[in-house]
Amino acid sequence: MEFDFNINHIFPDEVTLIGEKSPFRNKTNSRLLERNLQIVIDTLGKRSAKAQQLTGSITTFLKSQLNNHRLFILKDDCANNGLGCVIGFLKVGKKRLFVLDRDGNHNEMNPLCVLDFYVHESQQRKGCGLCLFKHMLSMEATKASHLAIDRPSHKFISFLKKHFNLWATIPQVNNFVIFDGFFKNRSDMVRNSSSGSDKISQFRPLSRAVSDGIIKRNRQSDHTVMSTALKD
């Protein structure tokens, strides 16, 4: 994706992380850079939504800031006569979820989730997605099997199988997909010392009645969020 301004002024690295704080705070032309960043992110969000046949963008500059999402942006610095171009992006963020395990427990967790992922059509199947994904795993100090994925497309499912040998084995009741190994060796799990048992306590298994009630409420609020997103 080419723009009529210099991409290299906004994204210094081949893969640049845009987090909750503005990267331009101490720069003299920060307003202009921020406006251009907004144009790029909003454009990426629209392209991704179109590629996934969604009726509205799930990624915008404002939503990403409000929700503390982290965006990894891949660029080609030489394209467009040196102005550079944007090849794709990957968006992650933590979400409070109820995750079903093999025993049918709903576990209350706060895992890192992949929320949006897009590579420009002209650059797909050339390894750009993998480059973004590996960079994210390294920056977030996690592994692919520990992520929850929000409504993965068939291309993304194929990508995860090919590059990370991941298979979704436990169907979930929400839109998120988890893979074999999700519950294994998580660094965000702590042992429950108060009970003296070996049970992992960072995620709490809930009784069926309690979790069904929470899931129902979540579905209703999900619906509200989606309707808001679709109106944008």
The residue ranges that bind ligand ACO (CB under 6 A) are 51-52, 114, 116-119, 124-130, 149-153, 155-156, 158-159, 162
Beta carbon nearer to ligand ACO, 79 or 130? 130
Ligand-binding annotation for 118, yes or no, is yes
Query: Which residues in the chain belong to E strands, given as ranges?
Result: 15-18, 70-76, 85-94, 97-100, 106-109, 112-119, 148-150, 176-177, 204-206
Ligand-binding annotation for 128, yes or no, is yes
Beta carbon nearer to ligand ACO, 53 or 194? 53
CB of 221 to ligand ACO, least distance (A): 19
CB of 162 to ligand ACO, least distance (A): 4
Q: How far apart are CA 39 and CA 34, in angstroms?
A: 9
Ligand-binding annotation for 123, yes or no, is yes
Beta carbon nearer to ligand ACO, 33 or 71? 71
**37 CB-near residues (< 8 Å, 6+ apart):** 10, 18, 23, 24, 61
User: What is the CB neighbour count within 10 angstroms for residue 111?
Assistant: 20
Ligand-binding annotation for 102, yes or no, is no
Beta carbon nearer to ligand ACO, 58 or 100? 58
